[in-house]
Chain A
């Protein structure tokens, strides 16, 4: 039997968006969930993930349409194809969820994350931290004689790489926003 005529990007009936067999391979997917901006909507989404035992690698949320009361939640999750399909279908069931997009399936995406890192140090280490920050195009947003706070934007692995380099140079504290993602092209 033909596997369900999958159209790329067809999330309006995501149940059709199925693989012909269940695979055991874990995949990483980035989901964009457009929700009604009302109290409790984030709790519904998070409660769904914890209640049904799904993974959240990162989650960001903010209102993106003030007049339309819409917020966009970007979730990075991992799971087998079957679990990913379930996650999308379960998200779609939530009454205040308007749209669920699987950006990983729908096309090429651009993903960005912002991080701030506090690096304490003096002398050579301090100079080295600043030099590497320039290579990574990180900005200094706060400075004392013995510390910097760097702001860096990029794909998650770029931020990971920068953090790895900062660690021996005195990385003391880090804050990350989680991934925001959009499809490329129009």
Chain B
């Protein structure tokens, strides 16, 4: 019945790991050919792979794991998907209903444990309600603000045969608001017509709203000529080559983007949530601007930053209304003011905030990413990352032209996310070039998935910027903790080439900038999984940086700025 429901939901791929409490479902899986099962090596990997699948396709990712440890191992992935609003449907096996509560073998209170880390979850005790619940789960995961859901199915319910229902989303009482309030939208359009220093601040909500939202965004930005910046989650919604593109904003965002946010007089937040990595010091955040906020989730509005024009609705719907109203009122902007604003931004651009000291002896991580960008720019490319310095450098130095091409753990910051996510992306796009930009420490957290990549012959490229350090932790210790590098170096690292070899993958080692291009080409030309061990400068810091407790216009641009800038209150802010 579970498999039938999945088929009716259009599922073609599931990621999972079998165990005692899901054997009946696995038996059904075995006896059919429509749904492909990807066997991972750890349940956390299954959820991240499903996230990669979901983010690169816009379809929900599906996971099947067993009870107890299977379910608890999925918790990190569920939390990650919750914070980044990724639609995931996780099925967990459970001990039979008559054993629930008896501390049975591999029993855990799965719905209890996952209640705060799912959008919603269900324990199905009645076989007649199983199929209806599964359809409802897909509906909830993909409607409104997307998110992970979990369906816990006791083993006896899996064995039982109940009445099957076809999907009927119209019967669900879960119906979030998608159309924005017209009055508020008109108010925003009026503000757009007069603003002298407007800026679009976009986020993952544009990507989640679907490809139409990105197209409408591009139309609106190009028609108005307003500059646009994006959060880490929203990269690709507006093309990096677009003329109004400011680059990413936030803690490690670009100087011009953060300065524009600080000095603007109209901020139009589209599908972003004023995360603390974006705002810096809240009471000094963009002090002189009128703020509009478009979000599908009413709880995002006024959570962190007070906004003047809140618009609850789906990004694509609202953007369409904005365009219609703006056009019907005569396509007005304050052209003179905006031109002066763009000139000011051009001055900020000249600061060239991403510049770094080149080196001929060692590979600078920024240089490695510049070369990766140059050599892969024209390909059908998908990028995932782990979490840390490499992630920020990837966001700064790689250019994204389209949505759904950039998969990174933004909200939760999950080290170990990128490798399994790259597997999920490659499964969804077998012909595409899928690269996981990684740090050696993050990558080791889910390196067991090399087995999955080898088994399914997935040509995922693991581009590891190996500085033998927990680079971001080290950077913070340097700036905040008196250069006391407490446990932030990677001792006893494996030989990554031999490690790759042991799994039947290809390993490449590169330590000389002169060899880098050839080594990257070797990686790209190999038809199979590659572990690329790129030995980089060990003590490079990631700039620009807004230190904790500081405002957008108090950015550090390089090593010279770093002495004694963060006071003790900032140190507590992480």
Q: Which residues of A does B touch, CB under 8 Å?
A: 1-2, 4-5, 13-16, 18, 21-22, 36, 39-40, 43-44, 47, 51, 82, 85-86, 89-90, 92-96, 98
Pair A43/B112 contact, Cβ less than 8 Å:
yes
User: Considering the chains assembled together, what is the distance between the CA atoms of A4 and B123 in angstroms?
Assistant: 41
The minimal Cβ–Cβ distance linking B157 to chain A, given in whole angstroms, is 15
Given the known A-B contacts A4-B310, A43-B112, are A89 and B301 also in contact in the complex, defined by CB atoms under 8 Å? yes
Pair B120/A89 contact, Cβ less than 8 Å:
no
Pair A1/B308 contact, Cβ less than 8 Å:
yes
A residues within 8 A CB of B20? none
B residues within 8 A CB of A39? 123
A residues within 8 A CB of B309? 1
B residues within 8 A CB of A43? 112, 115
Pair A15/B120 contact, Cβ less than 8 Å:
no
Pair B177/A96 contact, Cβ less than 8 Å:
no
User: Considering the chains assembled together, what is the distance between the CA atoms of A173 and B504 in angstroms?
Assistant: 72
A residues within 8 A CB of B299? 15, 86, 89-90, 92-93
Q: Which residues of B does A touch, CB under 8 Å?
A: 111-112, 115-116, 119-120, 123, 140, 173-174, 177, 181, 183-184, 187, 191, 290, 297-299, 301-303, 306, 308-310, 312
The minimal Cβ–Cβ distance linking A44 to chain B, given in whole angstroms, is 6
Pair B120/A95 contact, Cβ less than 8 Å:
yes
Pair A18/B310 contact, Cβ less than 8 Å:
yes
The one of A15, A36, A95 in contact with B140, judged by C-beta atoms closer than 8 angstroms, is: A95
The one of A4, A14, A47, A93 in contact with B116, judged by C-beta atoms closer than 8 angstroms, is: A47
B residues within 8 A CB of A44? 115
B residues within 8 A CB of A2? 187
User: Considering the chains assembled together, what is the distance between the CA atoms of A90 and B301 in angstroms?
Assistant: 11
A-B contacts, 22 listed (Cβ < 8 Å): A1-B187, A1-B308, A1-B309, A5-B183, A13-B181, A13-B312, A15-B301, A15-B302, A40-B115, A40-B123, A43-B112, A43-B115, A47-B115, A51-B116, A82-B302, A82-B306, A85-B302, A89-B301, A90-B299, A92-B299, A95-B140, A95-B174
Pair A86/B303 contact, Cβ less than 8 Å:
yes
Pair A95/B119 contact, Cβ less than 8 Å:
yes
The minimal Cβ–Cβ distance linking B112 to chain A, given in whole angstroms, is 7
The minimal Cβ–Cβ distance linking B156 to chain A, given in whole angstroms, is 17
The minimal Cβ–Cβ distance linking A84 to chain B, given in whole angstroms, is 11
User: Considering the chains assembled together, what is the distance between the CA atoms of A39 and B115 in angstroms?
Assistant: 12
The minimal Cβ–Cβ distance linking A35 to chain B, given in whole angstroms, is 11
Given the known A-B contacts A1-B290, A13-B298, are A22 and B306 also in contact in the complex, defined by CB atoms under 8 Å? yes
Given the known A-B contacts A89-B298, A95-B140, are A16 and B174 also in contact in the complex, defined by CB atoms under 8 Å? no
Pair B310/A92 contact, Cβ less than 8 Å:
no
